[in-house]
Structure 1
Amino acid sequence: MTLSLFILGSLADENSHPYKLKKQLLDTIPIDKISEGKFYYNFETLQKKGFIEPAETIQIENRPNKTLYKITKDGKEYLEREIYNNFKKFSKIEDLYISIYLLKYIDPHKAAIFLEDTIIQERKRWVEYREAYNNEELLRQYQLLEEKQKKAIEFISDHAFSQSEQNIRWMEKLLTFLKSTDK
């Protein structure tokens, strides 16, 4: 997941503190949970790279001080660049969730161009898998397997191919959405 993008996008909207951002993430994006360590590691990494910086410290009586952070100019540039990169290349559909959520920071039509290329590549990849799946050598090896192994391979293949078809349909819907969205 592109956790650092969420942090940057949230700080582009308003200055905030890490705990509030983590809660906002869990309330906004459909993810199970995220470890404290992973979240704060991403936060600290962004600060070390100069993408975020302390904006102010709030003192509340009988409570620890809260440091509010803001995004830097370099952070805004990085945010935009990485959102586009996410549309260019992602390994799982879920990797796009945060980039879709942060569309207001980019030109959706430019993201559509990148996504269109990704869809073409994904279709091509699955055509190649289907062709390989029907390869004579594989079919010969398949015939040598026990019946349970054959059923297991069929079960796994059925899921993989149907999931790829579903992912491509979803990306095509997303593409339509991006093309119809105004900047």
Structure 2
Amino acid sequence: MSLSLFILGSLAEENSHPYKLKKRLLDSLPIDKMSEGKFYYNFEALQKKGLIEPVETIQKENRPNKTMYAITRAGRQFLEQEVYNNFKKASKIEDLYISIYLLKYIDPVKAAFFLEDAIKQEKKRWAKYREAKNKEEFKRQLELLDEKQQKAVQFISEHAFSQSDENIRWMEKLLSFLQRIED
């Protein structure tokens, strides 16, 4: 998950302050918790890169100051490019949560094109693992292990392949979703 993308996407909608955006993130997506330091670090890093800028400081009596931020033109360009980059390099659906959330800032057809290629790469990668598992060398290495280790390797392999199949299924479901979205 990319906090930076979420921050940029949120600021593309409206100027805001970090606390409000952190609350929106935790309320919108299935995230258990997030450290204050990590969230504020991302604000600082985005500001240093010139992707966001402080636009106002709100002062209320007996309350800490709130700095309101806005996205810059460079930030809007970066946001769009990074969302596409996430679709290009996708290997797990969880890594795309923020990009899916920010679909309104990109062309879904272009994202679908990138995702389709990512799915092909992921299928190819797991096909190599399956092929390697069936080779004699792997079987010989497995025979060197004691019975408990062999069962452990089989359990781990079964889980990994099951997870990869499920992940690819969800990536294909996302591809279908992207292809159906109307502008």
Common fold, TM-score beyond 0.5? yes
Q: Show CA shifts across 1:150-170 (max 9, x none).
A: 100110000000000000000
Greater than 2 Å deviation, 4+ residue runs: 90-93
Distance 1:149 1:64 in 2: 57
Are 1:86 and 2:86 matched, yes or no? yes
Task: Give the corresponding residue for 2:172.
Answer: 172
Shift of 1:32: 1.4
Task: Give the corresponding residue for 2:124.
Answer: 124
Measured on the aligned residues, the alpha-carbon RMSD in Å equals 0.9
**Structure 2 residue ranges without an equivalent (≥5):** none
> Matched residue of 2:56: which SS?
strand
Task: Give the corresponding residue for 2:111.
Answer: 111
Task: Give the corresponding residue for 2:40.
Answer: 40
Task: Give the corresponding residue for 1:7.
Answer: 7
Shift of 1:10: 0.3
The within-5 A match list for 1:53-72 is 53-72=53-72
Give yes or no for contact 2:119–2:172 (8 Å, CA) kept in 1.
yes
Q: Report the residue type matching 2:116 in the other structure.
A: E
> Matched residue of 2:44: which SS?
helix
Distance 1:91 1:39 in 2: 24
> Taking structure 2 as the reference length, what is the TM-score of the superposition?
0.97
The more displaced of 50-59 and 152-161 is 50-59
Q: Report the residue type matching 1:160 in the other structure.
A: A
Distance 1:80 1:119 in 2: 21
Distance 2:147 2:64 in 1: 64
Shift of 1:82: 0.2
Identity %: 75
Distance 2:133 2:179 in 1: 35
Shift of 1:61: 2.2
> Matched residue of 2:61: which SS?
coil
Shift of 1:91: 4.6
User: Judging changes above 3 Å, is the alpha-carbon distance between structure 1 residues 78 and 20 closer, same or farther for their aligned structure 2 residues?
Assistant: same
Task: Give the corresponding residue for 2:163.
Answer: 163
The more displaced of 59-68 and 172-181 is 59-68
Distance 1:78 1:178 in 2: 21
**Structure 1 residue ranges without an equivalent (≥5):** none
Q: Report the residue type matching 1:137 in the other structure.
A: E
Q: Show CA shifts across 1:19-73 (max 9, x none).
A: 1111111111111111111111111000000000011122222222211100000
Shift of 1:174: 0.2
Task: Give the corresponding residue for 1:19.
Answer: 19
Distance 1:90 1:113 in 2: 12
The more displaced of 95-104 and 138-147 is 138-147
Distance 2:117 2:92 in 1: 16
> Taking structure 1 as the reference length, what is the TM-score of the superposition?
0.97
> Matched residue of 1:62: which SS?
coil
> Matched residue of 2:64: which SS?
coil
